[in-house]
Structure 1
Amino acid sequence: MLVTIDMSLLAEQIESTSLLEWIAVGFGVSEVLLARKNNVLLYPAGIIGILCSGFLLVDAKLYAETLLHAYYLVMSIYGWAMWKNRSASGASQISRSTGAEQRITWAIALGGWAFLYFMLTNFTDSDVPVIDAFVSSTAWAGMWLLAKRKLENWIWLNVSNLVAIPLLFHKQLILISFLTIFLFVVAVFGYFDWKKELDRPHEKFKTV
Protein backbone atom coordinates (compact mmCIF):
# COMPACT_ATOMS: atom_id res chain seq x y z
CA MET A 1 0.00 0.00 0.00
CA LEU A 2 1.67 3.19 -1.19
CA VAL A 3 1.31 6.02 1.35
CA THR A 4 1.72 9.63 0.26
CA ILE A 5 1.08 12.73 2.33
CA ASP A 6 -0.86 15.53 0.67
CA MET A 7 0.11 18.55 2.80
CA SER A 8 -2.46 20.77 1.11
CA LEU A 9 -5.15 18.25 2.04
CA LEU A 10 -3.86 18.23 5.63
CA ALA A 11 -4.03 22.03 5.80
CA GLU A 12 -7.52 21.96 4.28
CA GLN A 13 -8.68 19.37 6.82
CA ILE A 14 -7.29 21.39 9.74
CA GLU A 15 -9.01 24.57 8.51
CA SER A 16 -12.34 22.80 8.05
CA THR A 17 -12.26 20.99 11.39
CA SER A 18 -15.28 21.93 13.50
CA LEU A 19 -15.12 22.92 17.16
CA LEU A 20 -16.95 19.73 18.14
CA GLU A 21 -14.36 17.64 16.29
CA TRP A 22 -11.50 19.46 18.05
CA ILE A 23 -13.21 18.77 21.38
CA ALA A 24 -13.57 15.08 20.48
CA VAL A 25 -9.90 14.88 19.50
CA GLY A 26 -8.83 16.77 22.63
CA PHE A 27 -10.68 14.42 24.96
CA GLY A 28 -9.44 11.41 22.97
CA VAL A 29 -5.85 12.54 23.51
CA SER A 30 -6.58 13.24 27.18
CA GLU A 31 -8.00 9.73 27.54
CA VAL A 32 -4.86 7.97 26.35
CA LEU A 33 -2.56 10.26 28.37
CA LEU A 34 -4.60 9.55 31.51
CA ALA A 35 -4.53 5.82 30.71
CA ARG A 36 -0.74 5.98 30.51
CA LYS A 37 -0.75 7.50 34.02
CA ASN A 38 -3.07 4.74 35.26
CA ASN A 39 -5.64 7.39 36.17
CA VAL A 40 -9.32 6.43 36.32
CA LEU A 41 -10.25 9.86 34.92
CA LEU A 42 -9.42 8.40 31.50
CA TYR A 43 -12.97 7.04 31.44
CA PRO A 44 -14.96 10.28 31.87
CA ALA A 45 -12.60 11.92 29.37
CA GLY A 46 -13.13 9.05 26.97
CA ILE A 47 -16.91 9.12 27.38
CA ILE A 48 -17.04 12.84 26.54
CA GLY A 49 -14.86 12.24 23.47
CA ILE A 50 -17.01 9.29 22.36
CA LEU A 51 -20.24 11.27 22.71
CA CYS A 52 -18.82 14.17 20.69
CA SER A 53 -17.58 11.77 18.01
CA GLY A 54 -20.96 10.05 17.99
CA PHE A 55 -22.76 13.27 17.06
CA LEU A 56 -20.27 13.83 14.24
CA LEU A 57 -20.62 10.28 12.93
CA VAL A 58 -24.43 10.41 12.91
CA ASP A 59 -24.29 13.75 11.11
CA ALA A 60 -21.95 12.16 8.53
CA LYS A 61 -24.31 9.15 8.21
CA LEU A 62 -21.52 6.77 9.24
CA TYR A 63 -23.85 4.49 11.13
CA ALA A 64 -21.50 1.48 11.37
CA GLU A 65 -18.82 3.67 12.96
CA THR A 66 -21.50 5.04 15.28
CA LEU A 67 -22.28 1.50 16.45
CA LEU A 68 -18.56 0.89 17.01
CA HIS A 69 -18.44 4.00 19.20
CA ALA A 70 -21.48 2.71 21.07
CA TYR A 71 -19.38 -0.36 21.96
CA TYR A 72 -16.60 1.93 23.18
CA LEU A 73 -19.14 3.84 25.28
CA VAL A 74 -20.41 0.65 26.93
CA MET A 75 -16.85 -0.57 27.59
CA SER A 76 -15.89 2.83 29.02
CA ILE A 77 -18.78 2.75 31.49
CA TYR A 78 -17.92 -0.87 32.35
CA GLY A 79 -14.23 -0.05 32.72
CA TRP A 80 -14.95 2.95 34.93
CA ALA A 81 -17.03 0.75 37.25
CA MET A 82 -14.35 -1.97 37.26
CA TRP A 83 -11.52 0.45 38.09
CA LYS A 84 -13.51 1.96 40.97
CA ASN A 85 -14.46 -1.48 42.33
CA ARG A 86 -12.08 -2.33 45.17
CA SER A 87 -13.44 -5.84 45.67
CA ALA A 88 -11.88 -9.02 44.32
CA SER A 89 -14.11 -8.80 41.24
CA GLY A 90 -12.90 -5.32 40.38
CA ALA A 91 -9.81 -3.99 38.61
CA SER A 92 -8.35 -1.64 41.18
CA GLN A 93 -4.76 -2.63 40.34
CA ILE A 94 -2.70 -3.27 37.24
CA SER A 95 -2.20 -6.97 36.53
CA ARG A 96 -1.26 -9.36 33.75
CA SER A 97 -3.84 -11.37 31.84
CA THR A 98 -4.59 -14.87 33.07
CA GLY A 99 -4.79 -17.78 30.64
CA ALA A 100 -8.58 -17.57 30.61
CA GLU A 101 -8.48 -13.83 29.94
CA GLN A 102 -6.03 -14.34 27.08
CA ARG A 103 -8.40 -16.84 25.49
CA ILE A 104 -11.30 -14.40 25.84
CA THR A 105 -9.16 -11.65 24.30
CA TRP A 106 -8.31 -13.80 21.29
CA ALA A 107 -11.96 -14.78 20.95
CA ILE A 108 -12.99 -11.11 20.91
CA ALA A 109 -10.29 -10.26 18.33
CA LEU A 110 -10.86 -13.20 15.98
CA GLY A 111 -14.63 -13.41 16.44
CA GLY A 112 -14.94 -9.66 16.02
CA TRP A 113 -12.77 -9.78 12.89
CA ALA A 114 -14.96 -12.45 11.30
CA PHE A 115 -18.19 -10.68 12.31
CA LEU A 116 -17.07 -7.26 11.08
CA TYR A 117 -15.70 -8.71 7.83
CA PHE A 118 -19.07 -10.38 7.21
CA MET A 119 -20.95 -7.17 7.94
CA LEU A 120 -18.64 -5.01 5.82
CA THR A 121 -18.69 -7.32 2.80
CA ASN A 122 -22.42 -7.98 2.88
CA PHE A 123 -23.95 -4.70 4.04
CA THR A 124 -21.51 -1.94 3.05
CA ASP A 125 -19.50 -0.82 0.04
CA SER A 126 -16.18 -1.05 1.93
CA ASP A 127 -13.17 -1.57 -0.34
CA VAL A 128 -10.87 -2.59 2.55
CA PRO A 129 -13.04 -4.96 4.63
CA VAL A 130 -10.23 -7.22 5.83
CA ILE A 131 -8.02 -4.45 7.19
CA ASP A 132 -10.89 -2.32 8.44
CA ALA A 133 -12.38 -5.26 10.35
CA PHE A 134 -8.95 -6.15 11.79
CA VAL A 135 -8.34 -2.62 13.09
CA SER A 136 -11.69 -2.54 14.88
CA SER A 137 -11.60 -6.08 16.30
CA THR A 138 -8.13 -5.70 17.82
CA ALA A 139 -9.24 -2.37 19.31
CA TRP A 140 -12.26 -4.19 20.80
CA ALA A 141 -9.90 -6.68 22.43
CA GLY A 142 -7.68 -3.90 23.74
CA MET A 143 -10.62 -1.97 25.21
CA TRP A 144 -11.79 -5.09 27.04
CA LEU A 145 -8.33 -5.57 28.56
CA LEU A 146 -8.13 -1.88 29.49
CA ALA A 147 -11.42 -2.24 31.38
CA LYS A 148 -9.81 -5.15 33.25
CA ARG A 149 -6.69 -2.99 33.89
CA LYS A 150 -4.49 -5.57 32.18
CA LEU A 151 -0.97 -4.70 30.99
CA GLU A 152 -1.55 -6.38 27.63
CA ASN A 153 -4.21 -3.85 26.64
CA TRP A 154 -1.42 -1.63 25.28
CA ILE A 155 -0.17 -4.39 22.98
CA TRP A 156 -3.59 -5.00 21.45
CA LEU A 157 -4.40 -1.31 21.10
CA ASN A 158 -1.08 -0.70 19.38
CA VAL A 159 -1.55 -3.63 17.01
CA SER A 160 -4.76 -1.85 16.00
CA ASN A 161 -2.99 1.52 15.75
CA LEU A 162 -0.09 0.11 13.73
CA VAL A 163 -2.42 -1.25 11.05
CA ALA A 164 -4.73 1.78 11.20
CA ILE A 165 -1.98 4.32 10.42
CA PRO A 166 -1.29 3.26 6.79
CA LEU A 167 -5.00 2.58 6.27
CA LEU A 168 -5.88 6.14 7.30
CA PHE A 169 -3.15 7.60 5.08
CA HIS A 170 -4.45 5.47 2.21
CA LYS A 171 -7.92 6.92 2.79
CA GLN A 172 -6.43 10.45 2.86
CA LEU A 173 -7.61 10.95 6.45
CA ILE A 174 -4.38 12.76 7.19
CA LEU A 175 -5.34 14.55 10.40
CA ILE A 176 -6.70 11.39 12.00
CA SER A 177 -3.66 9.41 10.86
CA PHE A 178 -1.32 11.85 12.61
CA LEU A 179 -3.46 11.59 15.73
CA THR A 180 -3.17 7.80 15.54
CA ILE A 181 0.62 8.04 15.27
CA PHE A 182 0.59 10.16 18.43
CA LEU A 183 -1.63 7.61 20.19
CA PHE A 184 0.72 4.82 19.08
CA VAL A 185 3.73 6.56 20.63
CA VAL A 186 1.87 7.29 23.87
CA ALA A 187 0.72 3.67 24.05
CA VAL A 188 4.33 2.46 23.80
CA PHE A 189 5.25 4.61 26.80
CA GLY A 190 2.03 3.51 28.51
CA TYR A 191 3.05 -0.14 28.26
CA PHE A 192 6.45 0.49 29.86
CA ASP A 193 4.98 2.78 32.53
CA TRP A 194 2.44 0.13 33.52
CA LYS A 195 5.07 -2.62 33.40
CA LYS A 196 7.34 -0.60 35.70
CA GLU A 197 4.43 -0.13 38.10
CA LEU A 198 3.60 -3.82 37.91
CA ASP A 199 7.20 -4.86 38.60
CA ARG A 200 7.19 -3.10 41.98
CA PRO A 201 5.88 -5.97 44.13
CA HIS A 202 6.71 -4.34 47.44
CA GLU A 203 5.11 -0.99 46.70
CA LYS A 204 1.44 -0.10 46.71
CA PHE A 205 -0.05 0.41 43.26
CA LYS A 206 -1.15 3.88 42.33
CA THR A 207 -4.92 3.65 41.97
CA VAL A 208 -5.98 7.23 41.37
Structure 2
Amino acid sequence: MDVFWTYLKTNALELSGVITGMVCVWYNTRQNVWGWFWSIVSVTIYAVIFLEAKLYADMGLQVIFGLLSVYGLWQWLYGGKGRTVLPVSRVPSRWIPGLVGLCVAGTGSLSWVLHRFTDASIPLVDSFTTAVSLIAQWMLGRKYLENWILWIGVDVIYVGMYIYKNLYWTAFLYVVYLGLSVYGYRDWGKSRGHRA
Protein backbone atom coordinates (compact mmCIF):
# COMPACT_ATOMS: atom_id res chain seq x y z
CA MET A 1 0.00 0.00 0.00
CA ASP A 2 2.94 2.33 0.69
CA VAL A 3 4.08 1.91 -2.92
CA PHE A 4 0.65 3.05 -4.13
CA TRP A 5 0.64 6.18 -1.94
CA THR A 6 4.21 7.03 -2.92
CA TYR A 7 3.31 6.67 -6.60
CA LEU A 8 0.20 8.79 -6.10
CA LYS A 9 2.17 11.55 -4.36
CA THR A 10 4.89 11.66 -7.02
CA ASN A 11 2.31 11.67 -9.81
CA ALA A 12 -0.25 14.06 -8.29
CA LEU A 13 0.14 16.57 -11.12
CA GLU A 14 -0.47 13.92 -13.75
CA LEU A 15 -3.48 12.58 -11.82
CA SER A 16 -4.97 16.09 -11.57
CA GLY A 17 -4.51 16.46 -15.33
CA VAL A 18 -6.30 13.16 -15.84
CA ILE A 19 -9.27 14.17 -13.70
CA THR A 20 -9.68 17.63 -15.22
CA GLY A 21 -9.25 16.18 -18.71
CA MET A 22 -12.00 13.62 -18.15
CA VAL A 23 -14.34 16.30 -16.82
CA CYS A 24 -13.57 18.47 -19.87
CA VAL A 25 -14.28 15.77 -22.46
CA TRP A 26 -17.39 14.56 -20.62
CA TYR A 27 -18.85 18.07 -20.79
CA ASN A 28 -17.86 18.32 -24.47
CA THR A 29 -19.65 15.07 -25.31
CA ARG A 30 -22.75 16.53 -23.64
CA GLN A 31 -22.39 19.76 -25.68
CA ASN A 32 -21.99 21.71 -22.44
CA VAL A 33 -19.88 24.90 -22.53
CA TRP A 34 -18.31 24.08 -19.14
CA GLY A 35 -16.09 21.68 -21.06
CA TRP A 36 -14.14 24.65 -22.38
CA PHE A 37 -13.41 25.98 -18.89
CA TRP A 38 -12.17 22.58 -17.73
CA SER A 39 -10.12 22.35 -20.91
CA ILE A 40 -8.14 25.44 -19.95
CA VAL A 41 -7.34 23.96 -16.52
CA SER A 42 -6.38 20.59 -17.98
CA VAL A 43 -4.16 21.93 -20.77
CA THR A 44 -2.26 24.13 -18.32
CA ILE A 45 -1.45 21.10 -16.19
CA TYR A 46 -0.48 19.00 -19.19
CA ALA A 47 1.79 21.68 -20.64
CA VAL A 48 3.96 21.24 -17.54
CA ILE A 49 3.78 17.42 -17.67
CA PHE A 50 4.78 17.26 -21.34
CA LEU A 51 7.64 19.71 -20.82
CA GLU A 52 9.07 17.39 -18.18
CA ALA A 53 8.56 14.34 -20.47
CA LYS A 54 10.30 16.10 -23.39
CA LEU A 55 7.19 15.83 -25.55
CA TYR A 56 7.61 19.35 -26.86
CA ALA A 57 5.05 19.17 -29.63
CA ASP A 58 2.46 17.98 -27.13
CA MET A 59 3.51 20.77 -24.76
CA GLY A 60 3.02 23.37 -27.49
CA LEU A 61 -0.23 21.68 -28.40
CA GLN A 62 -1.53 22.36 -24.90
CA VAL A 63 -0.87 26.09 -25.32
CA ILE A 64 -2.72 26.09 -28.63
CA PHE A 65 -5.53 24.02 -27.07
CA GLY A 66 -5.89 26.76 -24.46
CA LEU A 67 -6.38 29.35 -27.21
CA LEU A 68 -8.71 27.03 -29.13
CA SER A 69 -10.71 26.55 -25.92
CA VAL A 70 -11.45 30.27 -25.79
CA TYR A 71 -12.39 30.11 -29.50
CA GLY A 72 -14.57 27.02 -28.93
CA LEU A 73 -16.38 28.63 -26.02
CA TRP A 74 -17.22 31.67 -28.11
CA GLN A 75 -18.25 29.54 -31.10
CA TRP A 76 -20.52 27.32 -29.04
CA LEU A 77 -22.23 30.32 -27.46
CA TYR A 78 -22.38 32.75 -30.39
CA GLY A 79 -21.18 30.98 -33.55
CA GLY A 80 -24.60 30.08 -34.92
CA LYS A 81 -26.70 32.14 -37.31
CA GLY A 82 -27.47 35.52 -35.81
CA ARG A 83 -24.94 34.89 -33.01
CA THR A 84 -27.00 32.06 -31.58
CA VAL A 85 -25.85 28.76 -30.11
CA LEU A 86 -23.94 26.72 -32.69
CA PRO A 87 -25.64 23.46 -33.78
CA VAL A 88 -23.85 20.19 -34.59
CA SER A 89 -23.09 19.93 -38.31
CA ARG A 90 -20.92 18.01 -40.79
CA VAL A 91 -17.58 19.10 -42.23
CA PRO A 92 -18.11 20.36 -45.79
CA SER A 93 -16.73 17.61 -48.04
CA ARG A 94 -14.80 20.13 -50.14
CA TRP A 95 -12.70 20.94 -47.04
CA ILE A 96 -11.49 17.37 -46.45
CA PRO A 97 -8.54 17.43 -48.93
CA GLY A 98 -7.34 20.70 -47.41
CA LEU A 99 -7.57 19.31 -43.88
CA VAL A 100 -5.61 16.20 -44.93
CA GLY A 101 -3.01 18.45 -46.58
CA LEU A 102 -2.72 20.53 -43.40
CA CYS A 103 -2.19 17.36 -41.41
CA VAL A 104 0.58 16.11 -43.71
CA ALA A 105 2.28 19.52 -43.89
CA GLY A 106 1.96 20.06 -40.15
CA THR A 107 3.34 16.62 -39.34
CA GLY A 108 6.29 17.00 -41.70
CA SER A 109 7.18 20.52 -40.64
CA LEU A 110 6.88 19.93 -36.92
CA SER A 111 8.73 16.62 -37.11
CA TRP A 112 11.63 18.30 -38.91
CA VAL A 113 11.79 21.10 -36.33
CA LEU A 114 11.66 18.70 -33.39
CA HIS A 115 14.23 16.35 -34.89
CA ARG A 116 16.63 19.12 -35.84
CA PHE A 117 16.36 21.50 -32.88
CA THR A 118 15.27 19.50 -29.84
CA ASP A 119 15.95 16.29 -27.98
CA ALA A 120 12.37 15.11 -28.57
CA SER A 121 12.16 11.39 -27.96
CA ILE A 122 9.68 10.43 -30.71
CA PRO A 123 9.37 13.44 -33.02
CA LEU A 124 7.39 11.88 -35.89
CA VAL A 125 4.67 10.32 -33.73
CA ASP A 126 4.57 13.40 -31.48
CA SER A 127 4.18 15.62 -34.56
CA PHE A 128 1.48 13.49 -36.20
CA THR A 129 -0.64 13.32 -33.07
CA THR A 130 -0.20 17.06 -32.62
CA ALA A 131 -1.30 17.86 -36.19
CA VAL A 132 -4.36 15.60 -36.02
CA SER A 133 -5.27 16.91 -32.56
CA LEU A 134 -5.15 20.53 -33.71
CA ILE A 135 -7.49 19.80 -36.58
CA ALA A 136 -9.81 17.77 -34.33
CA GLN A 137 -9.87 20.52 -31.70
CA TRP A 138 -10.72 23.16 -34.29
CA MET A 139 -13.49 20.87 -35.60
CA LEU A 140 -14.77 20.42 -32.03
CA GLY A 141 -14.92 24.19 -31.66
CA ARG A 142 -17.04 24.37 -34.83
CA LYS A 143 -19.19 21.46 -33.58
CA TYR A 144 -18.38 19.30 -36.60
CA LEU A 145 -19.51 15.74 -35.91
CA GLU A 146 -16.40 14.28 -37.55
CA ASN A 147 -14.14 15.70 -34.82
CA TRP A 148 -14.93 12.58 -32.83
CA ILE A 149 -13.66 10.29 -35.62
CA LEU A 150 -10.30 12.07 -35.54
CA TRP A 151 -10.19 11.87 -31.75
CA ILE A 152 -10.91 8.12 -31.84
CA GLY A 153 -7.98 7.51 -34.20
CA VAL A 154 -5.50 9.77 -32.47
CA ASP A 155 -6.45 8.54 -28.98
CA VAL A 156 -5.43 5.00 -29.95
CA ILE A 157 -1.98 6.31 -30.92
CA TYR A 158 -1.72 8.44 -27.79
CA VAL A 159 -2.38 5.43 -25.54
CA GLY A 160 0.64 3.64 -26.98
CA MET A 161 2.82 6.74 -26.92
CA TYR A 162 2.10 7.49 -23.28
CA ILE A 163 2.71 3.89 -22.21
CA TYR A 164 6.04 4.10 -24.05
CA LYS A 165 6.86 7.31 -22.11
CA ASN A 166 5.81 5.72 -18.77
CA LEU A 167 2.95 8.19 -18.37
CA TYR A 168 0.53 5.52 -17.22
CA TRP A 169 -2.14 7.80 -15.76
CA THR A 170 -2.15 9.75 -18.99
CA ALA A 171 -2.39 6.53 -21.02
CA PHE A 172 -5.38 5.60 -18.87
CA LEU A 173 -6.87 9.03 -19.53
CA TYR A 174 -6.60 8.47 -23.27
CA VAL A 175 -8.34 5.10 -22.95
CA VAL A 176 -11.17 7.00 -21.24
CA TYR A 177 -11.00 9.68 -23.96
CA LEU A 178 -11.31 6.92 -26.55
CA GLY A 179 -14.51 5.67 -24.94
CA LEU A 180 -15.85 9.21 -24.55
CA SER A 181 -15.06 9.94 -28.20
CA VAL A 182 -17.10 6.93 -29.31
CA TYR A 183 -19.91 8.13 -27.04
CA GLY A 184 -19.58 11.71 -28.31
CA TYR A 185 -19.77 10.61 -31.93
CA ARG A 186 -22.87 8.54 -31.28
CA ASP A 187 -24.60 11.19 -29.14
CA TRP A 188 -23.77 14.11 -31.43
CA GLY A 189 -24.92 12.07 -34.42
CA LYS A 190 -28.29 11.51 -32.77
CA SER A 191 -28.68 15.15 -31.79
CA ARG A 192 -27.47 16.70 -35.04
CA GLY A 193 -29.99 19.31 -36.04
CA HIS A 194 -32.10 18.79 -32.92
CA ARG A 195 -30.07 20.21 -30.03
CA ALA A 196 -27.93 23.33 -29.78
**1:116-157 alpha-carbon deviations (Å, 9 max, x no partner):** 211121112234222221111111111010011000000111
Q: Distance in 1 between matches of 2:190 and 2:151?
A: 19
Structure 2 CA distance for partners of 1:104 and 1:80, relative to 1, 3 Å:
farther
Instruction: State the AA in 1 paired with 2:72.
Output: G
Return the alpha-carbon distance in structure 2 between the equivalents of residues 101 and 78 of structure 1: 20
Q: Deviations over 1:60-104 (max 9, x none)?
A: 385824322111111111111111113367771000100243234
Indicate whether 1:196 and 2:190 are aligned.
yes
**Larger deviation, residues 41-50 vs 85-94:** 85-94
Distance 1:123 1:10 in 2: 38
Change (3 A) 1:130 1:136: same
Out of 61, 69, 78, which is 2:71 matched to?
A: 78
Q: TM-score, normalised by structure 2?
A: 0.85
Question: Conserved in 1, the CA contact under 8 Å of 2:88 and 2:144?
Answer: yes
Q: Structure 1 residue 139 and structure 2 residue 133: aligned?
A: yes
1:154-169 alignment runs, 5 A limit: 154-169=148-163
Matched positions, count:
193
Q: Which amino acid aligns with 1:148?
A: R
Query: What is the CA–CA distance in structure 1 between the aligned matches of 2:9 and 2:68, rounded to whole Å?
Result: 33
Q: Equivalent residue of 1:156, what SS?
A: helix
The answer to which structure has the higher helix fraction is 2
Q: Which of 90, 99, 104 in structure 2 is aligned with 1:96? A: 90
Given that 1:105 and 1:145 are in contact with CA atoms closer than 8 Å, whether structure 2 keeps it comes out as no
Quote the residue 2:117 is aligned against: 123
For the residues of structure 2 that align with 1:104 and 1:89, how far apart are their CA atoms? 27
Give 1:171 deviation, angstroms: 2.2
Q: Percent of aligned pairs with the same residue?
A: 21
CA RMSD across the alignment? 2.6
Alignment of 1:109 onto 2:103: yes
Shift in alpha-carbon separation, 1:66–1:168, aligned structure 2, 3 A: closer
Which ranges in structure 2 are unaligned for 5 or more consecutive residues? Answer: none
TM-aligned CA deviation for residue 113 of structure 1? 0.8
- Once residues 63 and 171 of structure 1 are traced to their aligned partners in structure 2, the CA distance between those partners, rounded to angstroms, is 9
2: CA distance between counterparts of 1:88 and 1:104?
A: 28
CA contact (8 A) 1:32 1:183 kept: yes
